[in-house]
């Protein structure tokens, strides 16, 4: 069973400047969402960061909310929290694939995102994965966002040469 496997966890990064995260939560399964929030909040607090929460109706709206915040607000990173449980129709595949793809595209565009939109076969799997004392996927997603923020900040002052030398200037 996967919950009994041991996985390596990177230590949370340390920051010299404050870090602000936005948790975008789809509370369709409220109890599961609250466990994800609890795990993510604990990780953020251990890193000395702050967080705000925005709720959206469902997992499909999470990437849009992240995109709006990334364009219009000053958050350093984002944590996507929600749950999709397989039902009797293909809607499950649409929601899982499109929410994941939307977040991946935002990440490739520079947003620092941790993804804990659980995609499970049944409620029992979701409960285990969301529980901060067991699966702690919320905490893992917050840690992922924090690590991406640390990478982004570490590379922010580095620039690439642009392929020519300006008059009187030097290339690196």
As annotated, the active-site residues are 91
- Residue 4 DSSP symbol: G
Helix (H, G, I), strand (E, B) or coil at 141: helix
The tokens for 68 are 């709006």
Helix (H, G, I), strand (E, B) or coil at 47: coil
């Amino acid at each position: 069973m996967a919950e009994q496997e041991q996985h390596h966890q990177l230590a949370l990064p340390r920051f010299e400047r404050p870090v602000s995260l936005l948790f975008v939560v789809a509370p369709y399964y409220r109890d599961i969402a609250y466990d994800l929030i609890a795990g993510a909040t604990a990780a953020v607090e251990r890193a000395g960061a702050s967080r705000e929460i925005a709720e959206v109706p469902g997992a499909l709206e999470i990437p849009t909310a992240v995109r709006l915040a990334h364009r219009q607000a000053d958050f350093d990173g984002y944590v996507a929290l929600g749950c999709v449980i397989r039902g009797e129709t293909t809607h499950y595949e649409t929601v899982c694939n499109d929410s994941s793809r939307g977040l991946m595209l935002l990440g490739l565009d520079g947003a620092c995102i941790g993804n804990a939109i659980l995609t499970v076969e049944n409620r029992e799997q979701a409960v285990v994965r969301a529980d901060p004392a067991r699966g702690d996927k919320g905490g893992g997603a917050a840690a992922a966002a924090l690590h991406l923020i640390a990478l982004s900040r570490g590379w922010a002052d580095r620039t690439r040469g642009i392929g020519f030398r300006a008059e009187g200037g030097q290339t690196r």
